[in-house]
Each structure stands twice: as structure tokens, then as C-alpha cells.
Structure 1
Amino acid sequence: MACHLPADCLDEIFEYLEEDKLTLHSCLLVNHLWCEISVRILWRNIWNFKRLSRKRSLRVSSSILSTLVACLPNESREILYKNEIFLSTPTSKPPLFNYASFCKVLSICRINIIVEDVLKNEPSSVNCLVTNEIIKMFMNQIYALKKLNYYCNQYTINLINFSFTYFPGAKDLSELYCSSNLPSNFFHQLSQICHNLQSISIDFHYDVSNGLKELIFLQNNLKDLTLSAFDYVSWENIIPAITKHSQTITKLRLYSDNELPFSFVGSFSNLQEFIFSFSDGSSFEDFKELQYVNFSKLQILKIPLQCPHPDYVKKFLEINGKNLKKFYTDENDKSLNLSIAKFCPNLTSLFIIFNKGEKDILKTIFNNCQHLESIKIWGGKEYLTEKEVFEIVVNHSPKSFCELKMYNSSVSDVFPKDLESFFINWKKRIPKKLLNLIIIKEFHFNMENINIIEKYENLGVVKFEIKGYEEEEDDEEEVYSFL
């Protein structure tokens, strides 16, 4: 019965499975129509696979590369043949689909990585030629590119031949992730055909070219901007081009290994999300100015790594805290934590650090923030213990609460009887909610506790997950290294 559904109906159903790669792969085997729809979705962003292990990553990379080689036009095959480059393909027959045309996301750096992984024993000239022919094929075949990822080091830039003169599909580009050290003519060419970028992420290297400034300035509706500057490189030269979009940008992320100017943010009156992470921001003089600015639409504020002086942040929360939905900070300051309870009553998600003996502050936050759904707490010997957190969560968290994230670098102090008591009491809460319990990295549970967790998972009381710290940072978009 399902195979007789019309294609447009199947299309709509399969769109809901975009993130469920396993189910989509199973649909490949039903019939040709199901296969075509599934392949089109799977190849929309073929680069979005997790590099879980070296062996598995190499297997996936080999599969992608061999499929792309099979799709190469005859002209490219001839070029490879004349250079004595012979690459295997999945089958001697022509591919079932023109896979390259399905792509909406193009990652130049991931193509380069895949080629280097698979052809690691080949000279760099061979890798370069294969990479360029694959890129050329994408440029000819993609009719509506949505996202371009082009982070490259200086060596790679000199090897890759990329020109928008022959890339008409780039006119629909909405997301650009790039390095600032790309040739100026690359940005100039892109600025001639693409004026509707909504999201730009720039990894700064060396000086900022006029082409990049021109590209940013010419956009019509830029909403999302990420600036990452390390090795003491500055984004200062690009600020005038950025402030032209102060009324349209709603999401801003600033990452650096030193303190860079960011008082320009004060003019971004429609800002909804603001993340800034400076590993050396000892004075935060610019935030001293921003503490008095009213961002009436701000809902998300994240300050990983170093935090400005707590007094500055408290003043900022006094003015802007009422609208905040998410607030994350690595600062462990008692007065700042109390100001969160006082000025941020509508929070739904919070990451905060409590020092040892600050149980009453956590209780106050729960009592004052009645919309809180999720909290991430850093525990350990110098901080609140997980046993204390469990007791406060079950007795004082609001009815909306359903997710607890715990990071603890020391051995767990929770005894099996305490853990079971926590789950029993959570089960009795009204309204009944499944608790998402996420343990981050070095939190050490013994097997008895693991068995208790599994017991209450089976009873539908808790959903348990262990994450690496980096994986958790990825989920919260707090990392500042991009592929």
C-alpha cells in the first residue's frame, strides 16, 4: 500500500526523516521511487557524517569518493586517465543517479580531507587534481547551492581552483563558512552574484581583504554572524562592513584567544542570541560599555571560558534578564548566581557553577525561575556534589523541569540507595515527566548505579545518556573551531 503513495506525498513524509539517516538508508531498498527520494535527501549534505573512528571514517570517505568518481563527466575522466590516475568505482555500470546534482551543501575542506584520507599514499599533485575535478563537477551540477564551507590553510588555497564564474547555482547561497585568507577575487566574484546570504561565519587569518569587506557589505538580509579570530589576529578592519547590518543581525557569536573590540554590538538592536568567548579577556572593557545597553529581544546569552567582571554581568542581567530564555556562564560567583534568580525569571535553560555550600542558591533559582526546563551543573569536591544536586532537583525544581546535565571530574559520591531514592521520588512528582539525565565525560558511576539507572530507564522514569565534554559543547554551539 505504501509504495502506491504519490511522489509528492512521499517527499513530504521523507523530509521528516532528514536527521534519521538509519531509517532513510532502509528506504533505499524498498523500490526505485523510495530509493530516489531517499538518495536526494541523503546527498543534500553528504558531508554531515560523524568521524567516530579512523576505520569507519575511512570506509565512509572511500564510499563517498568512489561514488563521486563514478559521477565524473567524461572530460574529467580523460584528465585523470592522461595523468595515470585510476580510481575504483562501486560498479562498472553508470551510476543510478546524478548524485552531485542533489547536493545543497558544498564543503571544499571536507572534499579535500576525504581525498587525502583515501589517497594518502599518493603525491599531493594527484590529490590536488582529483579534488579540483570533483569541485568542478559540483560547480557544473549543483543548480541551487544553499551552504558553502570553504575553510582552508594557505597551502590548500594554492592547490584548489575555485571560480564562481562557472558556478550559477551559487546565486541561491544562504550560508557561507569561510576563512578570511581566501583570495580577494574569490570574495569579489561571489559578491557579484550573491546578495542574499543570511548566515556568515568567518575564521580570521592574516589581513582582511577588500573582497571580503565588499561581500559582507553588499548583503541584503544578513541575520546570523560568527567571527573567530585566533593567534592574535583581529577582526577590527571588518567592523564597518558588519555594522551596516546592525538592524538585521539576530544571532552573533564572537570567539577569540585575546580581547578584541566588540562595543559595536551595542547598535544591534534586534539581537536575539549573543555568544562571546575570549580565552584572554582579562579586562573586558568593551563589555563595561555593553552592560548598560538594552537588548529588548535578547533571549540567549552564553559566555563560555572567561567571563567579564560579575558586576558588569549583573548590571547587564538587571536590564536584559527578564527576556532571557537561555543563559550559560563558566563564572562561579555567588552574587552573580543570586542575580540570575532575581533578574531572569523566564529562563528555560541554564548552565551555571555552584561552589561548595551553595545549596540555598540553587534552591532560590529553582523557586524563582518557574519556567526552567534544563540545567547543567558543574559539580565536584569544590562544588556542589551530585548527591546534593539530586536532592534539590527532586524537591525544589519547578514543574516544567525535565533535563539535568551533570559534569563532575571526581568519583561519584552517590550511593545506590540514594540514587534509587532519587528516581522513586522523581516518579512520584506531579505532573509526571520523563527526566533526561545527561552525564558529561569524567563523571564516574559504579556498576551498581548503572544497573539502577537501567532499571528506571526500563520503567520510563529516566532517559540516561553519557556524553563527552566536546560533544556536549558541540550540541550547545560553544565550540569555535569549524570545518
Structure 2
Amino acid sequence: MSKLNKDILFLIIEELQNNSKYLFSCLMVNRIWCETVIPILWRNPWRYSINYKKISLYFIITSYLFDDIKELLTKRGILILGQSLAFDYLSFCKNINIKVIDDIISIGSSLEYNRFLLQEEIYSSLVKKFPEIKYLNICGTYEIVYLPEAKVRLESLCELTCDTLIDSRYFYRLAHICQQIQRIIIINKNLKANQGTIKLIEFQKNLKYFKWVDEIEVEDGIYYWDVLEDPYTEIFNILKKHANTLNHFDINLRYEYNDYYLDFYDIYNEYNYTFLQYALLELHNLKILEIDSPIFLNDDDFNKKLEMVAYRNLEILEIDFIDIYQINCMVKNSLCLRELRINDFHWNDDNFYNDSLNFIRTICKNCLLIEYLTIPAFPSLEEHFIEFEKLLKKCQKLRSLNFKEIYYEAEKELEFGDNLLNVLIREASANLREIRITYGIKFSLKTLETFLEKWKGRPAVSLYFDNTYFYRKDNSFKKLFDKYKIEKVIKYINV
């Protein structure tokens, strides 16, 4: 391994860039491996600050300061260590993370003014050293964009992470410098709109990825909606203008369902979250959609418009909570869909029979590439099982099947389980590796044994049961599972 061709070695190590443990181990093999790892490691060294000794990062960064600056800082009692470097580390770096760097700077001195001086010199040094800055994390307050060299260095910025507590003027400056940002990640800590972030998004010409994460904090005893001033609507309206380029949309909103609510939709009596629903109607080119928000309001206007939308490029759809009818509308034209991950389904009691049946038919007809599927536990009826069997026949790439309990028929849990396993053993593709079973489905010992016996010859399957108590109370199930784990029919089981 230590004598691998350099190009091959580089490709292998590049695959490890998200695994810091292995990446740092590679540094110790020999000089060739070390020379290969360093450029990869220093593309974004701040992401490894936990693994790196922070003091090592600090000394490397400060070693790039001019000698007269080092001498001046030393006289002020700031820790500076004169040392030669084995590599020109910063020449590989195109990423600035303000938060991490400011944390590292605190090593130099505990005095606030001294840290300010270090910030001035270190950021000036970094901006001069980098020929271009591709990635910038400005979850802090230091105004690096006002340095003389910033305009030239930041013109090629392709990814920005920021929070909404930063002064709007900071973003106005960025908006004029950087108009080719492809990925924007916003950590929202503000109860009202930050006009600077709105302008920054508006000015972009090739925005492909947008992520919004609420981290709003309110004082104890203060009701969240009483102080919220709408940080959302303007930004989500601006995002509609990027519908032609935006392909990854990741939204995590703060919301609270209180115990007194009789219906999940009652949350709209406190705050109107429809800004998200109506933004989605415009974003027709999405490939990845991830949403953690209140359930979409189920009204005729929105549903009629949703029926007309076609997400033809959608590959991954992950939503915390959604009505079955609405999710059916969203995926009915998604021929490229590979993953459908739903944490919980909502349904209308009067329409559940048809909605659940239509959902199965929609997946069967349109989503032939599906690999991960979340499906509501449907009624224990012949028509539903016939359609589910057709789904399994058509969706031969299916690797993971996750049943969610939204429909419960008392005294029919075992009957449903028997029918389900019979269909799976007849029609499930050889690619199926994982089955997740909700509370409303149970299996008898005999049915499980028959299923596992017939599963022999296929790749081992992982089984996840929500109702683990049902299987733990009878030791016969444990013996059965242990037997088939030994025979490598079962890869993993959570009971």
C-alpha cells in the first residue's frame, strides 16, 4: 500500500476527506503519503480543528505573519512561536471559517484588545496569501470583507455560511462583490428579517443550494410567536426568482405543537407558515428537497396548485410530516426519485382508503428508480396488497422499505403481518436490504420463521421493529433471530 502510484493514492485518500480519523492516520505512513494528504487536509483545515491540536493550527497560521508584526505582537505579550514549516500549508487553503479561527486566536492572549490585534493581522495575512477564496464561514462579527484585497479574493466565492445577526451592511458589501455563489447556508438567529441576507440572495446569478436552519432563542417565559417579527417571507419570495438554478433546498424551521391543539393545522392560528408551501410551488427544478417544518396547510387553493406542479428532476425528498394526498401530488411526476423519507404521514379519515391506494399506485407507476421508500401502513384489504405486490415487482432497485403507522386495525395486526411477509418473499427484489416495521404490524413466530427460511440465498436483511416489547416477551423469538443471524440471513435486528 505504501508504494501505490501517487495519482491512485491521491484518489483513495480524497475519498477519506470526510473521515478525519483515517485521514490523520495516513499522515504517519511515510513522506509520500504525508505529501499527498496535506493538500487535501488543508483545503479546509478548520473542519478538523477538533482533531488537530488547536495550538498547532495557531502556530502554523501565525508563522505566516511578517517578522516585524511578530515582534510587535510578542512585545504585547501575545504568544508567537517562531518555527519553520515543512509545507506551505496556506497555499492549499481556499476556505476561511471566522468562528473557528477566532476560537484559535484566543490561544494567543486572553486580553480582548490583543485578540483584536491578532484578528487584524491574521485575517489580513490570510486574504493576501489566498489567490482566491472559495468557501467562507462568517458566523461571527469580524468584517473581513472590508480588507483592501477582499474584493479580488472573494469574487470567486462559491459557498457562504452565515448567520442573520450580522449587520446588514456586511451583506450589502458581499452582495456587490460575490454574485456567483452556488451554495448559501443561513443560520437564522433573528426574530425579524435581515435585509442584507435578502439582498445577497437577490444578487446571485447561479444559486444551486440553499439551506436555512432556525436557531432562534427566546427568554424563558416568553411565548415564541409573541415576539416573532417574520424573518421568512421576504427571503422565501426572493428564492422563487432562482427557480431555474436552485436544485437543493434544505429548510429547518422552529415551531412548537402545544398539547392543547386538537389538530396539527391549528398551529396556523399562531403563525402563518404558508410562505414555505407557496415557495415550493415555484421551485420546479429541485433535485433534493429536505424539510422540517409544520405540516403544510391542507386547503383547496394550495392543493389545486400542487396538483399542477411537476418535480421532474426530484431525486431525494425528505419531509418531517405531510398529508398523504399532498405527498402523492409531489411525487406523481418524479421519475428520477431515489429516496422518499417521511417521518410521519397525516391523513383524512374519510379519504384514507383512496389516498393510501393512490399513493401505492403512484410509486408503482412513476418511481421505478426508488431505493429508499417510506410507506403508510395501509388497510388490510386485498386490493391494497395487490397494488403493493405490483409496486415490488416494478421497483427492483428498492433497498430499504420503511412502514409508518397511521392506520390501525385492532385484532388484524398479525393478519397484516402474514400477508406482508408473503408478498415480500414472493416479489421483493434481491436489492432489498432493510425493512422497518411500525407498531401496527406484528408477525407470528411461525410466519417469521417461514419468511426467514425462504429468504436464504438472498443478501442478509436488517430488520427494525418499533414494537420491540412484543418480540422480547417471548424467548422463542430471540432464539429464532439468533439462529438466522448465525446463518447470515439476518444482518442486524434491533430486538
Fold shared, TM-score > 0.5 on shorter chain: yes
Aligned-partner Cα distance in 1 for 2:390–2:2 = 51
Which string of whole-angstrom CA distances, capped at 9 and with x for unpartnered residues, describes residues 357-400 of structure 1? 68985774353252233222346996968x93983574255215
Q: Which residue is equivalent to 1:149?
A: 137
Say whether 1:427 aligns with 2:442.
Answer: no
What letter corresponds to residue 343 of structure 1 in structure 2? T
1:261 paired with 2:275, answer yes
Match of 1:326 among 339, 363, 368: 339
Q: Tell me how far apart the structure 1 counterparts of residues 476 and 488 of structure 2 sit (CA, whole Å).
A: 19
Q: Does 234-243 or 435-444 show the bigger shift?
A: 435-444
What's the Cα RMSD here? 4.6
Deviation at 1:63, TM superposition (A): 1.0
- 2:328 counterpart of 1:291: no
Cα offset, 1:171, TM superposition: 3.0
Any conservation in 2 of the 1:394–1:425 contact (CA below 8 Å)? no
Choose 73-82 or 443-452, whichever is displaced more: 443-452
Q: Does 1:344 align with 2:363?
A: yes
1:354 aligns with 2:353: no
Q: Does 1:403 align with 2:433?
A: yes
Q: 1-side partners of 2:305 and 2:146: how far apart?
A: 40
Does structure 2 retain, via aligned residues, the 8 Å contact 1:184–1:212?
Answer: yes
Equivalents in 1 of 2:171, 2:26: separation in Å?
Answer: 40
1:115 and 1:131 in contact (8 A); partners too = yes
Is contact 1:179–1:203 with CA below 8 Å preserved after alignment?
yes
How far apart in 1 are the matches of 2:160 and 2:136? 5
Q: Which SS does the other structure have where 2:401 is aligned? A: strand
Q: Does 1:12 align with 2:2?
A: no
Matched to 1:349, the amino acid is: Y
- Find the counterpart in structure 2 of residue 201 from structure 1: 185
Q: 1:367 to 1:433 in 2, by over 3 A?
A: farther
2 CA distance for matches of 1:198 and 1:321? Answer: 24
Report the equivalent of 1:242.
239
**Kept in 2: contact 1:100–1:137 (CA 8 A):** no
Distance 2:60 2:471 in 1: 49
| Maintained 8 Å contact 1:104/1:146 | yes
What residue identity is the alignment partner of 1:291? L
**Does the CA-based 8 Å contact 1:299-1:326 persist in structure 2?**
no
Letter in 1 for 2:157: L
- 1:163 is matched with 145
- Relative to the length of structure 2, the TM-score reads 0.70
Q: Indicate if the aligned counterparts of 1:321 and 1:343 stay in contact, CA closer than 8 A.
A: no
Distance 1:240 1:377, change over 3 A: closer
Distance 1:115 1:458, change over 3 A: farther
Quote the Cα distance in structure 1 between the aligned partners of 2:437 and 2:408: 13
The 1:174/1:289 distance shift into structure 2, 3 A limit, reads: farther
Select 1:63's aligned residue among 49, 53, 69.
53
**1:374 partner amino acid:** S
Q: In the alignment, what sits opposite 1:81?
A: 74
- For the residue of structure 2 that corresponds to 1:227, the secondary structure is strand
Tell me which amino acid in the other structure corresponds to 1:191.
A
> Cα distance 1:271–1:302, how it changes in 2: closer, same or farther (>3 A)?
closer
Unpaired segments ≥5 residues, structure 1: 50-56, 467-483
Report the more deviating stretch, 215-224 or 373-382.
373-382
Percent of paired sites with the same residue: 20
1:341 CA drift (Å): 0.9
Structure 1 distance, partners of 2:406, 2:303, is: 32
| Correspondence for 1:216 | 201
Asked if 1 retains the 8 angstrom alpha-carbon contact of 2:163 and 2:186, the reply is: yes
Offset from partner CA, 1:196-247 (integer Å, 9 cap, x none): 2222222332444443333222322222223345664332223453233221
Q: Tell me the amino acid that sits aligned with residue 388 of structure 2.
A: I
- Call closer, same or farther: CA 1:68–1:33 in 2, change over 3 Å: farther
Cα deviation 1:119-178 (Å, max 9, x = unaligned):
9x9577777766776655544444443333334xxxx53xx3432533444333222222
The answer on whether the counterparts of 2:311 and 2:330 sit within 8 Å (CA) in structure 1 is no
Distance 1:35 1:314, change over 3 A: closer
Which of 189-198 and 418-427 deviates more? 418-427
The offset of 1:40, in angstroms, is 1.9
Secondary structure of 1:69 counterpart: helix
**CA distance in structure 1 between the aligned counterparts of 2:53 and 2:284, rounded to whole angstroms:** 47
Structure 2 Cα separation of the partners of residues 246 and 455 of structure 1: 53
Number of residues of Structure 1 aligned to a counterpart in Structure 2: 439
Give the 3-state SS of the residue equivalent to 1:339 in structure 2.
Answer: helix
Counterpart secondary structure, 1:226: strand
1:186 and 2:175 equivalent? Answer: no
Distance 1:29 1:439, change over 3 A: farther
Alignment correspondent of 1:471: none
**Matched residues in 2 for 1:461 and 1:93: separation?**
58
User: Counterpart amino acid of 1:81?
Assistant: T
CA distance in 2, matches of 1:299, 1:63: 42
Is residue 2:388 matched to residue 1:388? no
The CA distance in 2 between the partners of 1:79 and 1:427, in whole Å, is 74
Q: Match for 2:402: what amino acid?
A: K
Q: Secondary structure at the match of 1:94?
A: coil
The DSSP-based 3-state class of the residue aligned with 1:331 is strand
Distance 2:371 2:4 in 1: 44
Residue number in structure 2 paired with 1:174:
158
**1:35 to partner: Cα distance:** 0.1
Counterpart residue number, 2:221: none
The letter for the 1-side match of 2:144 is F
User: CA separation of 1:171/1:80 partners in 2, compared to 1, >3 Å: closer, same or farther?
Assistant: same
